[in-house]
Amino acid sequence: MTGAPVPEPGNSPDTPAGAPGTSPVATLRPARPRSRETLSLLAHNPTAAIASVLLLLIVVVAVFDETIAPDGANDIEVADRLQSPSWEHPFGTDDLGRDILSRVILGASVSLKVGFLAVGFALVVGTMIGLLAGYYGKWVDDVLMRFMDMLFAFPAVLLAIAVLAVRGPGSGNTALAIGIVYTPIFARVTRASVLGVREEVYVRASRSVGASDWRILTRHILPNAAPPIIVQTSISLAFAVLAEAALSFLGLGTQPPDPSWGLMLAEGRGYIQLAWWLAFFPGMAIFLTVLCFNLLGDGLRDALDPRQRTLMAGGGK
């Protein structure tokens, strides 16, 4: 603990930051970073840039999985059971002689599909709820947000398990379960942004000239709420992939014989002493995907949301 703890330079009141004297008209509507600027900001953040490239790669692999995978997901070669990694099978083979590399590649599409579906659901439903609650306020806000708080307070895994118990296991239901879990987060983030701008001059101005609620919501309020929602989307994708793996691991998500990373881990668990590669490679795939989404989320947060309005969805696995 050497050296005095001192404020960041940006915090000294006299460092040039403010811009007094700009014309009031220009400040009526706050400038927002445009997508090109965001991209260039991301490019200046090497970690986020690398993460984006890796993610792109993962998505490409997931899209062309059938073409890329050397073997089919369920090509059983009993003679090749539990082969350790080799040139022929870089990630080895499992207890039924299936090629693990192929299954990891094919599992990518399952994991990502569930992840995107889940977050897509949470994004659409949550944002709508947040917009309505924030914009109309009063009882609409009370009812919607009370319900969201209830969902939010509930342990995420148990909530997902309960939804799956109701709907039965399977990929589609897993996506729905995870989507429901993450809906409140999007509702909260959106609502907070809406409250922030609802009484801004430019919103009041367009209301006074008779713009419809719909127009105000889509033209003025949603764009302002977009940065934290975008950041939240990236972070939620990370947790959705993780949650899908966890639920499949528990036997509630994707069902065999479909190749899902979580399921492969569960299957490989029994052979851990005998053949470590069964569980290791799918786990690595989950880890890398989740890490990339998180890093991208962090990069986006730095670039888009300097006020850090995004909730940290920490621990909500």
Partner 1 sequence: MTAGEPVLEVEDLRVRLRTPRGPADVVNGLSYTVGAGETVAVVGESGSGKSVSVLALLGLLPARVATVTGRALLQGEDLLTMAPDRLRQVRGAGAGMVFQDPMTSLNPVLTIGRQLVEGIRAHGDVSKADARSRAAELLREVGLPDPEGALDRYPHELSGGMRQRVVIAIALSNSPSLLIADEATTALDVTVQAQIIDLIEGLQDEHGTGVIWITHDLGVVAGIADRVLVMYGGRCVEDGTVDDVLERPAHPYTRGLLGSLPDLAAPVGPDGEVPELTAIPGLPPPPTDLPQGCVFWPRCPVRADPRCETEQPPLAVVSRAPAGGPAGATASGAYTGDGAGLPHRAATWCTEGVDGGSRG
Partner 2 sequence: MFALVHLVPGDPVRLALGTRFSQESYDALRERSGLDQPLVEQFFTWFGRALTGDLGVSFRSGETVTSQIAERLPATLTLAFASILVALVIAIPLGTVSALRPRSIVDRVATVISQFGISVPDFWMGIVLILVFAGTLGWLPSGGYVPISEDPGAWLQRLLMPALVTGVVSGSVITRFVRSSMLEALGSDHVRTAQAKGLPTRQVFTWHVLRNALLPLVTVTGVQLAYLLSGVVVVEIVFSWPGLGQLALQAVQARDYPVLQGAILLFAVVFLVINLVVDLLYTAIDPRIRR
Task: Write the DSSP string, 174-216.
Answer: HHHHHHHHHHHHHHHHHHHHHHHHHTSHHHHHHHHTT--HHHI
Residue 281 region by backbone torsions, left for phi larger than 0, else alpha for psi between -120 and 50, else beta: alpha
Task: Name the minimum Å distance from CB 129 to partner 2.
Answer: 19
CB neighbour class for 39 (10 Å; exposed up to 12, middle 13-18, buried from 19): middle
Q: Is 49 among the residues that bind partner 2 (CB under 8 A)? A: no
Q: Is 9 among the residues that bind partner 1 (CB under 8 A)? A: yes
For partner 2 (CB under 8 A), the number of binding residues is: 52
Q: Which residues 136-155 are close enough to bind partner 2 by CB under 8 A?
A: 153-155
Q: Which residues 283-312 are close enough to bind partner 2 by CB under 8 A?
A: 283, 286-287, 290-291, 294-295, 298, 308, 312
C-beta of residue 57 within 8 angstroms of C-beta of residue 75: no
- Per CB under 8 A, which region of 72-80, 85-93, 188-196, 280-288 contacts partner 2? 280-288
At 290, list the tokens.
Answer: 């989740």
C-alpha span between 311 and 272 (Å, rounded): 37
In the bound state with partner 1, the residue whose beta carbon lies nearer, of 14 and 199, is 14
- Per CB under 8 A, which region of 12-20, 183-191, 277-285, 288-296 contacts partner 1? 12-20
Q: Which residues contact 225 (CB under 8 A, 6 or more apart)?
A: 127, 130, 131, 189, 190, 193, 194, 197
C-beta of residue 195 within 8 angstroms of C-beta of residue 109: no
Q: Is 269 among the residues that bind partner 2 (CB under 8 A)? A: yes
Residues of this chain that bind partner 2 (CB under 8 A): 1, 3-8, 11, 153-155, 157-158, 161-166, 168, 238, 242, 245-246, 249-252, 262, 265, 268-269, 272-273, 276, 279-280, 282-283, 286-287, 290-291, 294-295, 298, 308, 312, 314-317
Residues of this chain that bind partner 1 (CB under 8 A): 3-4, 6-9, 12-21
